[in-house]
Structure 1
Amino acid sequence: MIYNNLIYLIVVIFILSTNSVPDAPQLSPTITALLFAAKGLFFWLLVYACYVRKRVDKVSEYFKAEQKFSILAIGSVAVDVYVLDCQYYFAALPFTDSLPILVSLGGILLFFFYLCIAWAGARESYSVVFGRSYSAGAFLRSNISNNIPIILPWLLLSLLFDLLLLLPVPAVYDFLRSSWGEPLFFVTFFIMLAVTFPEIIIRLWKCEPLPEGPVRSHIEDFCQRHKLRYANVMLWPLFEG
């Protein structure tokens, strides 16, 4: 699931990156708002029909439905970008001139908005399939926290890049805008991220050290036989373990 979500978010980022902010929207604000509301309602009706009217009570059915609505959320964002010109309205928000990443962040939040609709509808099916109940708020928070680490590297990188361009230092601006400055910045940042990000993921995903026992011993023996280095063996309580 996590790997699928990584691909989905890359597609969304690609959609946002390949479309520039238009000088004027194609449709009037009123028509845009009505179409956006109608599309959101249609999305919710599809979620309701899948999870409520059609009972989802198997693991395979749950993941299949989740994948379907994730792809549908991507399609909805594409409509918002290419037809409803959501980036035009995001660009009207404060600070977007100085921090272009905020426009893309608006598109990402829009994607998560659709995912939240799907997650809200899937909550009861999740309880049936995995045997554990969550409140609506706790279920949404759990899903969001599972997906934040996927988008966090891109967000931090883009934000830092925009902030550096704002520094009143011409040399920094010229360096980042040079043909080799930007690639060097990205490489350096990802090296730093590779060192610090595992600890961030452990905290966000609430991983804990795997207790001593046959399973941990088997994993440690496997790593030693194949000369694999590791800091610790962690337990990730995804989908109730």
Structure 2
Amino acid sequence: MFSNILYFIVVILIYNLSLSREGPSYSYTVPALAALWGLYALWCRREFRYLMMRWGLRGHSGAAEGYQRAVGRLSILAVVLFGCAVFFFHLKAVFFHLPGLSGLSSIQGILAVMFFLLHLCTMWYFAYPAYLEVFGLEIERKSYVVSQLRMNVPILFPWVAVSVVYDLIGIIYPSGASALTERLEGSIVFFAVFILVLMAFLPKLIKSWWGCKPFEESDKKRLLEEFLKEKGFRYRALLRWPLLEGKTLTAGIMGIIARYRYILVTDGLFDSLSLEELKAVLAHEMGHARYRHLLLYLVFFVGYAVMSYGMFDIFLYLASGIPFLSEIVASDPDSAGELASLIISLPMLAVMVVYFRYVMGFFMRNFERQADLYSASVMGTASPIVSSLEKIAYLGGRGRDVPSWHHFSIRERVDVLRRFFTEPNLLKRHNRFVVCSFAIYLLCVAGMSYGFNSEPVRKWMVGGLVIRAMEKQVKDQPDNIMVQQGLAMIYHEMGRHREAADVYEMILEKKPDYAVALNNLAWLLATSDDPGIRDNARALKLARAAATIDRSSVVLDTLAEAFYVNGLKTEALAAIDEAISIAKEKKEYYLSQKEKMLK
């Protein structure tokens, strides 16, 4: 499940970074997407057939690891194919242009993620025979696929909730939605507070989604509840977790407040472990609550959100300094095109994978170790948690030496726990290690967030690296309007309005009817804070000239602004209404512009 969290994050990021400018050719796109899925299905079938031929004997020492590796490879392949569908086969445009969905980004996103889920369901369908053979569980194929789906879909609940709420804000209060996306403070506060509320109350929905029910009354259940009460642990309920019909061996905890905190235990684990071993497992889950691990996971997501807010602009500026990319990015000021979007998205994806897979993964593994040692401390000995881990490894068929990016291997966990017998202060030392590591993480995230989002630092970075490279290109290619336009856009973004205006003037001397330069210069003259270049009358003249050549929403927005600053309110409203009527995206921004002009 933890790996799938990472895959879903990548999928959502890929979808959000892509563009949807043109209407898709359904006669090309739909067959291409179907063919993509068909090829994936054939590859899944081949992969698991090969796995069963190689590790056909149940209980083979390498079978469990081979199965997990195959699932991991095919999941990554599904992510790659999703990226191909988005960037090369215009998946986003398919949903964007469906009737009634142009302004509902949440529904579009859900449909896109369902396309990815189709690939995962296909993988699980073909993985079923190998799963039975490797782990020896008796479960129907339909139940296996449905159980995997039910297990993984709640990963998307927070993202769906945020997207739906944002859409509702955009419908009810357009300028409010625009403020949330345009200002770092609004975005982060909205994201953090909303996710915090979801983490508090969502467990009640998830436990119903998973079909979790209370255990039947028994001495074992009664003694476990007495154990939790004796330790002063506050929670809502101890529930049966019907994961893969309850036959897998695992437990978990969810909920950051006691009223909606649930401890989940599968039937397989409940029946296989002794009472003392189950107490040790519950003490491990208590450790996660004791050390606020779920809240710390929220910090990791907010930390990435803060860093990534300014990261895209940084990568865009750096890409603009590369001769090949500068022409791609400069060729369309509003949307650099699918190719440029793909190229600029790659470093974003790389940073995201490194952050979650290695940085957050480091803490997740050490949080698990912290919970293990807490269990040993609560139980007074490491023996129960050690024997439970050994039994889970043996009965679950997963092996003692198979680590993951979010858990140490059973062997590594047991080796550390055995040190608890001779090093009673081991938990305190590990707690200090976790606290110091987290403090270093916070310092690094704060520094990088400041660097990515601080205007002085960004100006220094862009001015020192990108602008010098772009100025050299302009000097080397004096007739290349695309390179000049790219330089002007960066000047504008960096607040160097006078230099930007000079470059646009130079472009218009060579090509007087170039709509992009006319539009961008008009916007500068109408909105700049520099009184030396502010010229409302000429801004209107240039905006009118651009609008006679290009009636896009971007140009009409500039025309409306030019009318507005010249006191022509009626004409401004007519222009912004036309922009809204043809806008394919950023409608919230155009609606906020209209609100401003109505005042």
Give the superposition deviation at 1:190: 1.9
The equivalences for 1:45-84 within 5 A come to 45-55=42-52, 57=58, 58-84=63-89
Instruction: Note if contact 2:51-2:130 (Cα within 8 Å) is conserved in structure 1.
Output: no
Aligned equivalent of 2:22 = 23
| 1:80-229 superposed matches below 5 A | 80-128=85-133, 129-136=135-142, 138-167=143-172, 169=173, 172-173=176-177, 176=180, 179=183, 180-209=185-214, 217=223, 221=227, 228-229=233-234
Return the alpha-carbon distance in structure 1 between the equivalents of residues 181 and 50 of structure 2: 54
Check 1:15–1:216 CA distance in 2 against 1; reply closer, same or farther (3 A cut). farther
Aligned residues of 1:209 and 1:233 also touching (Cα < 8 A):
yes
Letter in 2 for 1:132: E
* C-alpha separation in 2, matches of 1:29 and 1:174: 32
Contact 2:23/2:97 (8 A) holds in 1: no
Q: Distance in 1 between matches of 2:109 and 2:87?
A: 14
Q: Which SS does the other structure have where 2:49 is aligned?
A: helix
The reply to whether residue 44 of structure 1 matches residue 46 of structure 2 is: no
Q: CA deviation at 1:175?
A: 5.7
Deviations 1:126-176 (A, max 9, x none): 33334213143x333222111111001110111111012101x46755664
In structure 2, the CA distance between the partners of 1:87 and 1:173, relative to structure 1 (3 Å rule), is: closer
Amino acid at match of 2:154: P
Distance 1:230 1:20, change over 3 A: same
Please name the residue that 1:14 is paired with.
13
Which segment is superposed worse, 41-50 or 10-19? 41-50
Measured in 2, the distance between the counterparts of 1:178 and 1:78 equals: 26
Greater mean alpha carbon deviation, residues 113-122 or residues 138-147: 138-147
- 172 and 6 in structure 1: CA distance in 2 versus 1, 3 angstrom threshold: same
* In 2, Cα distance between equivalents of 1:90 and 1:22: 12
* Structure with the bigger percentage of helix: 2
Aligned-pair identity (%)? 25
SS in 1 for 2:148: helix
| Structure 1 portions without partners, runs of 5+ | none
Q: Distance in 2 between matches of 1:5 and 1:52?
A: 23
Residue type at the aligned position of 1:164: I
Report which of the two structures shows the higher radius of gyration computed on alpha carbons. 2
Give me the TM-score of the superposition, normalised by structure 1: 0.82
Q: 2:51·2:66 contact (CA, 8 Å) conserved in 1? A: no
C-alpha separation in 2, matches of 1:119 and 1:171: 44
The list of structure 1 runs, each at least 4 consecutive aligned residues, that deviate by more than 6 angstroms after superposition, is: none
Give, as a single letter, the amino acid of the residue that structure 2 aligns with 1:40.
Answer: W
Compared CA separation, residues 195 and 122, structure 1 to 2 (3 A): same
The answer for the alignment partner of 1:4 in structure 2 is 3
SS of 1:234's partner is strand
Is the 1:119–1:140 Cα contact (8 Å) retained in structure 2?
Answer: yes
- Structure 1 distance, partners of 2:197, 2:116, is 28
Figure out how many residues of one structure are paired with residues of the other and give that number: 235
SS in 1 for 2:153: helix
Which range moved further: 115-124 or 44-53?
44-53
Name the CA distance, whole Å, in 2 between partners of 1:116 and 1:16. Answer: 20
The 3 A distance-change label for structure 1 pair 170 and 61 is closer
Secondary structure of 1:131's counterpart equals coil
Distance 2:229 2:42 in 1: 48
**Matched residues in 1 for 2:222 and 2:84: separation?**
48
What SS does structure 2 have at the residue aligned with 1:233?
A: strand
Does the 8 Å contact 2:180/2:190 carry over to 1? yes
Report the CA distance between 1:35 and its aligned residue: 3.3
CA offsets, 1:34-53, max 9 Å, x none?
Answer: 43333222211111112235
Q: 2:229 and 2:112 mapped to 1: Cα distance?
A: 41
Report deviation, 1:114: 0.6
Instruction: Report the TM-score, using the length of structure 2 for normalisation.
Output: 0.36
On the 8 A contact 2:104/2:167 being kept in 1, the answer is: yes
Q: Is the 8 A contact 2:95 2:108 kept in 1?
A: yes
Change (3 A) 1:218 1:112: same
After superposing the two structures, state which structure 1 stretch, 36-45 or 115-124, moved more: 36-45
Q: Which residue of 1 aligns with 2:524?
A: none
- CA distance in 1: counterparts of 2:28 and 2:196, whole angstroms: 46
Residue 153 and residue 119 in structure 1: after superposition, are their counterparts in 2 closer, same or farther (change >3 A)?
Answer: same
Query: Which moved further from structure 2: 229-238 or 107-116?
Result: 229-238
- CA displacement, residues 164-203 of structure 1 (integer Å, 9 cap, x when unaligned): 2101x46755664663444333233223212211111211
Distance 2:42 2:219 in 1: 47
